[in-house]
Structure 1
Amino acid sequence: MACGAMGESGLWSDDAIERQLSHIESNNIRAAYIHTSVVLIGRLK
C-alpha cells in the first residue's frame, strides 16, 4: 500500500522506494547494479 502511494506520487524513484522498504530485487542483474550504485555513493561520502 505504501509502496504504491509513494510510486504514484512521483516524488521518489522506484529504486529508492524498494531500497527503503528493503524489498529484494528478483532480477539478479538489476540487483547487482543497484548494489554497486549504493556502495559507490557510500564511498563518495
Structure 2
Amino acid sequence: MKKILASLLLISSIMCCNNFESDNHQKAKHRYGEKILVFIR
C-alpha cells in the first residue's frame, strides 16, 4: 500500500513539475523523489 501511494505521489510530482522548465523546479523534483524513495525503504 505504501509503495503504491508513494509511486502515485512521485508520478504526480513529475507531472506537475513538467509544466515548468526552470532549474529550481528540476532540483525540487529530484529532492521530492529522493524523499519518497527513502520513505519506501
Structure exhibiting the larger radius of gyration computed from Cα positions = 1
TM-score by length of 1: 0.44
Q: Which protein has greater RCO, CA pairs closer than 8 Å, 6+ apart?
A: 2
